Amino acid sequence: MINDLAKPQNYIGVNSAPDVHNANLGNPTAAELNQFVAQVASIATNVYASNPSSINLGTASNFAIDVVNGDYTMGPTTGYGILVVTGTLSFHGDYAWNGLVLVIGNGASVMSGGGHGQISGAVFVANTAGGTLNSPNVSWNGGGGNGIQYDHCWADYMESLVPPLAPTINSSALQVISLRTEVY
């Protein structure tokens, strides 16, 4: 019935699908992004060392705020809330995350394997290694119907849970500066 609404099924970004592209978020510095990770860690449900065997995935009515200081591999499973990974985040198979996924640190994300993985909310990947912004590494391979669906309800609500950054830095660097909601 989506054709009856005269709306396309998919909105393609700057490049061909998957529509992943660089976004201008007020040009935050590596220090500001790392401080944002520290802010999230200050309210985290759980903070883990690299490669935990499992994490608190939360539920639709009781979100988790998880910070993994290092690498993390997820799938097949479903989580809700904020997931921060400072190393390499690997998703595989039938995974789902509803909320924010922040890969800030090594800035590497790998989505692979078959299945029908889906992230609903927002994903932000930044390489802040060495105290400077470097090119992040995002790879997507394998079969299935994996995808990222931007959902401003999930993204905005999860972001609102993080305390404001200290006024000594440019706190506007991490605000949503553009939003388009399709009405149907």
Q: pTM for the whole thing?
A: 0.77
- Residue 170 confidence (pLDDT) above 80: no
The pLDDT tens digits for 116-159 are 788 999 999 999 999 999 999 988 877 677 778 889 889 889 99
- Residue 13 confidence (pLDDT) above 60: no
User: How much of the chain exceeds pLDDT 90, in percent?
Assistant: 51
pLDDT at 41: 96
Tell me the C-alpha to C-alpha distance, in Å, between residue 83 and each of 68, 124, 141, 177. Answer: 8, 11, 21, 22
Domain boundaries, the chain: 29-162
pLDDT at 75: 86
- Residue 5 confidence (pLDDT) above 90: no
What mean pLDDT comes out for the span 49-58? Answer: 94
- Residue 18 confidence (pLDDT) above 60: no
Distance of alpha carbon 133 from the chain centroid: 17
